[in-house]
Chain A
Amino acid sequence: METKVEIHNLRKQFGPFTAVDGISFQVGRGEVLGFLGPNGAGKSTTMKMVTGFLTPTDGTAVVCGDDITRNPLAAKRHMGYLPEGAPGYADMTPTGFLRFIAEIRGFRGAERDRRVAEVMERVHLLEVAHQPIDTLSKGYKRRVGLAQAILHDPQVLILDEPTDGLDPNQKHEVRNLIREMAEEKVIILSTHILEEVDAVCNRAIIIAHGRVVADGTPGELEARSRYHNAVVLRLPEGRDAPGIEGLPDVAGVEREEDGDTGGVTLRLLPREGRPILDEVTAWLRERAIEPLELYVEQGRLDDVFRTLTTHH
């Protein structure tokens, strides 16, 4: 894998407050990196430093071989960036705005117009091409922001909360677009929506208090959840499974009564993440208990997220 973005010990201090406290990682081509963390964890600040908006207090980012602090213009040329909230010049139309971006990216004349037309088609902006950005819906504004970020076909795409505030259809659309581009680019996106990580990312970094607290594939992170390999058991009305918590590899049981059907759902947590499905099914068979539903949980990202970002 070709490394495209190297982040070296990035730090940002705002007066006495340390927003980013020594973050280092590398991202290669084909990776879609989800940048997770609670609000105020330093996600946006990190992205602002990588894209050259904020000057790091210490450390640096190297993008496609160009150091953002030493050679900012060259590094910026490799990147497309969607800032948080997808800002755009309110009085301009998408066409005018994208032309401006194209020119500032160095495209002129026919090449400029071709790029603008192409990108507008790609993110479906043609129907609002001549309306002031001010009057556009949130979804369209986000598309304008995405369009300006991908117009010059950058190798590295940095998206700060690309789907925040969008409706489910719009989210779906933006995620498809990200997936389409994933293969040939490096994409770093920040989010606090965990399902998004499962949906589009092949790697996730969780940061808290300005530090990296976890780095792995979404699957690896889920495996750190106490729900990883947990077995969920839904029993019909009147049935229960007394004594099941006594199984050697079961660490605990969470019960949930279903008020409507009178049934009960048991969630059996495994000891140290060991697979317990066989054990549980054997136990049930012995007692001739037939559950309505029985499945193994992958683990929950939100659980891992909460554990990693609150115990500090």
Chain B
Amino acid sequence: MTRQIGVIFRRELGAYFTTPIAYVFIVIFLFLSGVFTFHLGNFFLRGQADLHSFFTYHPWLYLVLIPALAMRLWAEERKSGTIELLLTQPVTLADAVLGKFLAAWAFAAIALLLTFPIWITVNYLGEPDNGVILSAYLGSLLMAGGFLAIGSCFSAITRNQVIAFVLTAVVSLAFVLAGFPLVLNFFTGWAPQVLVDTIRSFSFLSHFDAISKGVIDIRDIIYFVSLIAFWLYATVLVIELRKAD
């Protein structure tokens, strides 16, 4: 079965690079992460040898870019009818969902790796704690996986990539903002405290913040991994239910 995942993974990853998507995405990703880090994040003014100002904007960057990466995953298969072709091959739906997701995730990882010049820069300028940086990269990658898994599910709902993009962005925003007073205030007062705490615990930000500060807590990792598993499972269900459309 893993062989089938591999075959689908390679095709998908290859597809990113046969179209301009890959290059456009990478260029914009690198450009925006530069703008955020140096302008908004005041990388130089902070005068500290760390990548805090780089990683702190990643949730916002992903909020815009990851839905764009994920929207084609299933919506395009639906639109072009290749979904029928793919799912009548001897592959399980779970393998197909996983193979496609992993390809998108690997692509996000490539884009993330290409930010290495900033790591070189900070090492050139000072003596950062590279353990923290590595942990932050890991956290960023896990968070990208979370966004992608959400995107995978919403891409499976529709054949329209714009709708997939918007739905993914909105739901991702909810996950990012779940820890913000803006959202929590909406619930405090009428909802039980347990619910408010649960909502807070779903926030991407709180889990990502911890990892990006170098604290690798197994609970944060479990959070992202189970979030990914949940949304991929939802993707399988959505496709199963809506195959005929």
Which A residues form the contact surface with B (CB < 8 A)?
14, 45, 48, 51-55, 73-74, 76-77, 79, 81, 83-85, 87-92, 96, 100-101, 103-106, 148
Contact between chains at B11 and A73 (CB < 8 Å): no
Which B residues form the contact surface with A (CB < 8 A)?
3-4, 7-8, 11, 14-15, 18-19, 80-82, 84-85, 87-92, 240, 243-244
Docked Cα-Cα span, A224 to B232, in Å, equals 54
Contact between chains at A76 and B7 (CB < 8 Å): no
Docked Cα-Cα span, A53 to B87, in Å, equals 6
6 contacts between A and B (CB under 8 A): A53-B87, A81-B85, A87-B85, A92-B18, A105-B90, A106-B3
With contacts A101-B89, A104-B89 taken as known, whether A87 is within 8 angstroms of B4 at the C-beta atoms is: no
- Which of A53, A88, A92, A103 makes the CB contact (< 8 A) with B15? A92
Docked Cα-Cα span, A74 to B90, in Å, equals 7
Contact between chains at B89 and A76 (CB < 8 Å): yes
CB distance from A102 to the nearest CB of B (A): 9
With contacts A53-B243, A54-B243 taken as known, whether A100 is within 8 angstroms of B85 at the C-beta atoms is: no
CB distance from B4 to the nearest CB of A (A): 6
Contact between chains at B84 and A53 (CB < 8 Å): yes
Q: Please name the 4 residue pairs, one residue from A and one from B, whose CB atoms are nearest each other, closest first.
A: A87-B81, A83-B84, A103-B7, A76-B90
Docked Cα-Cα span, A87 to B83, in Å, equals 9
With contacts A14-B244, A51-B88, A54-B244 taken as known, whether A89 is within 8 angstroms of B81 at the C-beta atoms is: no
Contacts of B244 in A (CB 8 A): 14, 45, 48, 54
Docked Cα-Cα span, A77 to B89, in Å, equals 7
- Which of A54, A84, A100, A104 makes the CB contact (< 8 A) with B90? A104
Contacts of A91 in B (CB 8 A): 15, 18-19
Contacts of A54 in B (CB 8 A): 243-244
Contact between chains at B85 and A148 (CB < 8 Å): yes
CB distance from B36 to the nearest CB of A (A): 31
CB distance from B101 to the nearest CB of A (A): 17
Contacts of B243 in A (CB 8 A): 53-55
- Which of B14, B15, B85, B89 makes the CB contact (< 8 A) with A105? B89
Contact between chains at B81 and A79 (CB < 8 Å): no
Docked Cα-Cα span, A84 to B80, in Å, equals 11
- Which of A14, A74, A83 makes the CB contact (< 8 A) with B81? A83
Closest to A75 in B: B90
Contacts of B19 in A (CB 8 A): 91
With contacts A14-B244, A100-B7, A104-B8 taken as known, whether A77 is within 8 angstroms of B84 at the C-beta atoms is: no
Docked Cα-Cα span, A214 to B82, in Å, equals 32
Closest to A73 in B: B90
Contacts of A55 in B (CB 8 A): 240, 243
Contacts of B15 in A (CB 8 A): 89, 91-92
- Which of B3, B11, B81, B92 makes the CB contact (< 8 A) with A100? B11
With contacts A54-B243, A89-B15, A103-B7 taken as known, whether A79 is within 8 angstroms of B88 at the C-beta atoms is: yes
Contact between chains at A87 and B88 (CB < 8 Å): no
Contact between chains at B82 and A88 (CB < 8 Å): yes
Contact between chains at B81 and A52 (CB < 8 Å): no
CB distance from B135 to the nearest CB of A (A): 37
Given contacts A53-B88, A73-B90, A100-B11, 10 further A-B contacts (CB under 8 A): A14-B244, A45-B244, A48-B84, A53-B84, A81-B85, A81-B88, A83-B84, A87-B80, A89-B80, A100-B7
Docked Cα-Cα span, A81 to B88, in Å, equals 7
Closest to A52 in B: B88
CB distance from B87 to the nearest CB of A (A): 5
Closest to A45 in B: B244
Contacts of A96 in B (CB 8 A): 14
Docked Cα-Cα span, A259 to B243, in Å, equals 55
Contact between chains at B90 and A87 (CB < 8 Å): no
Contacts of A100 in B (CB 8 A): 7, 11
Closest to A51 in B: B88
Contacts of A77 in B (CB 8 A): 90
CB distance from A148 to the nearest CB of B (A): 7
Among B18, B19, B85, B244, the most chain A Cβ lie within 10 Å of the Cβ of B85
CB distance from A10 to the nearest CB of B (A): 15
With contacts A53-B243, A104-B7 taken as known, whether A90 is within 8 angstroms of B80 at the C-beta atoms is: yes
Contact between chains at B88 and A83 (CB < 8 Å): yes
Docked Cα-Cα span, A88 to B87, in Å, equals 13
- Which of A14, A74, A89, A104 makes the CB contact (< 8 A) with B82? A89
Among A52, A74, A103, the most chain B Cβ lie within 10 Å of the Cβ of A103
CB distance from B43 to the nearest CB of A (A): 38
Docked Cα-Cα span, A106 to B243, in Å, equals 25
CB distance from A226 to the nearest CB of B (A): 38
Docked Cα-Cα span, A241 to B18, in Å, equals 72
Contacts of A92 in B (CB 8 A): 11, 15, 18
Docked Cα-Cα span, A53 to B89, in Å, equals 9
Contacts of B4 in A (CB 8 A): 104
